[in-house]
Amino acid sequence: MEERPIYIKAEEESNPEYGKPPEERSIEELLRYGVINLDKPPGPTSHEVVAWIKRALGVRKAGHGGTLEPL
C-alpha cells in the first residue's frame, strides 16, 4: 500500500467525555465492532463457518468478506 500525505485543514481538541480510542473498548464493545482474520478450515463453506461462529460467540450478526472462486 502506497504512503499518502496527510493534509491538516484545522486543529481541534476532541472532548474526552464521549467516544474512546478503539483499543480502549470493552470486550462487549469489541465484539460489537470487531473483525477476525480467520483461517477458514477447508471442508465447511464460509457460510457454515459464519453460522457456527455466530452460535459459539453468541453474536447476532456476522458475515465474511469473500472466498476464493471455486477451483
Q: How far is the CB of 29 from another protein (least distance, A)?
A: 9
Which string of x and - marks every residue 6-45 that binds another protein (by CB under 8 A)? xxxxxxx-xx--xxxxxx-x-x--xxxxxxxxxx-x----
Cβ atoms of 40 and 67 closer than 8 Å: yes
Q: What number of chain residues touch another protein (CB under 8 A)?
A: 50
Closest CA to 33 of 59, 7, 14, 58: 59
| Cα gap 55→16, rounded to integer Å | 35
In the complex, the residues that contact another protein under the rule CB under 8 A are 1-2, 4-12, 14-15, 18-23, 25, 27, 30-39, 41, 49-50, 52-53, 56-57, 59-66, 68-71
